[in-house]
C-alpha cells in the first residue's frame, strides 16, 4: 500500500512539474484527479481518513472533466461516504447531487442518498432513492432490496414492501431477517 501511495505521489509531482508552463493560465489549477482518487483510496485502506478526505476535497473543488468522469464520480462517492460517516449529511448530499448530475445511472449515489434520508427519518424520500438504486441493479441486489422494503414499511407502503420482499426471497431464499423484520410485519399491518 505504501508503494502504491508513493507511486501516485511521484506521478502527481511529475505531472505538476510538466504542466508548470508559466504561459499556461491553468497551470496552477491542473489537478490530477485519477492520482488523487488513487491516493485517497490507498489512504482510506490504511485507515488515514483525514488525509484521504483532504485529497478528495481537491477532487470536489476541481472543474469537472468528461474525460475523467469515472474518477470524479469515484472521488465524489468516497468523500460522500466519509461525510456520511461523520454525520455531515448536507455536504454529502451536495456531492451526491454532483455525481447524479454527471451520471443519473449511478446506483451507489442513489443508495447513499437513500441512506441519508433514512437517517433523517424521511422514509418516503429514502424509498424513492432506494427504488432508483433497486431499478439500476435490475432488482437483484438483496441488500438494496432489504433497504427498499424496510423504507416502504416505514412509509406505510405495505403492499410495495411485501412485493420487494418476495422478489428478494425468490432470488435469495435464505437472505437473513427479511422475512421476520419486514415481510411478516407488512402482512400483519394489512390484516384488519
- Distances in Å between the Cα of 25 and the Cα atoms of 17, 21, 29, 67 are 15, 9, 8, 20
Helix (H, G, I), strand (E, B) or coil at 145: helix
CB atoms closer than 10 angstroms to residue 91 = 17
CA atoms within 13 A on the CB side of 189: 17
- Domain 1-103 identical in fold to domain 122-192: yes
Average pLDDT, the chain: 88
| CATH number at 122-192 | 1.25.40
Only one residue has cell 490530477, namely 32
Sorted by where each begins, the domain ranges of the chain are: 1-103, 122-192
pLDDT (tens digit per residue) in 148-182? 999 999 999 999 999 999 999 999 999 989 999 99
| The pTM of the whole model exceeds 0.95 | no
End-to-end CA distance of the chain: 59
| CATH number at 1-103 | 1.25.40
User: What local confidence, expressed as pLDDT, does residue 26 receive?
Assistant: 46
Amino acid at each position: 500500500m505504501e508503494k502504491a501511495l508513493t507511486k501516485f505521489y511521484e506521478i502527481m509531482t511529475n505531472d505538476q512539474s510538466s504542466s508548470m508552463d508559466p504561459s499556461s493560465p491553468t497551470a496552477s489549477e491542473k489537478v490530477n484527479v485519477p492520482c488523487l482518487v488513487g491516493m485517497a483510496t490507498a489512504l482510506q485502506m490504511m485507515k488515514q481518513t483525514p488525509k484521504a478526505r483532504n485529497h478528495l476535497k481537491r477532487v470536489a473543488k476541481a472543474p469537472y472533466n468528461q474525460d475523467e468522469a469515472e474518477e470524479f464520480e469515484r472521488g465524489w462517492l468516497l468523500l460522500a461516504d466519509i461525510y456520511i460517516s461523520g454525520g455531515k449529511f448536507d455536504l454529502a448530499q451536495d456531492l451526491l447531487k454532483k455525481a447524479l448530475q454527471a451520471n443519473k445511472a449511478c446506483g451507489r449515489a442513489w443508495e447513499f442518498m437513500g441512506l441519508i434520508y433514512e437517517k433523517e427519518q424521511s422514509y418516503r424520500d429514502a424509498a424513492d432513492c432506494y427504488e432508483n438504486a433497486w431499478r439500476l441493479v435490475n432488482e437483484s441486489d438483496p441488500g438494496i432490496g432489504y433497504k427498499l422494503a424496510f423504507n416502504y414499511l416505514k412509509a406505510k407502503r405495505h403492499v410495495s414492501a411485501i412485493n420487494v420482499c418476495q422478489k428478494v426471497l425468490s432470488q435469495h431464499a435464505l437472505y437473513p431477517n427479511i422475512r421476520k423484520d419486514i415481510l411478516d410485519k407488512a402482512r400483519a399491518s394489512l390484516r384488519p
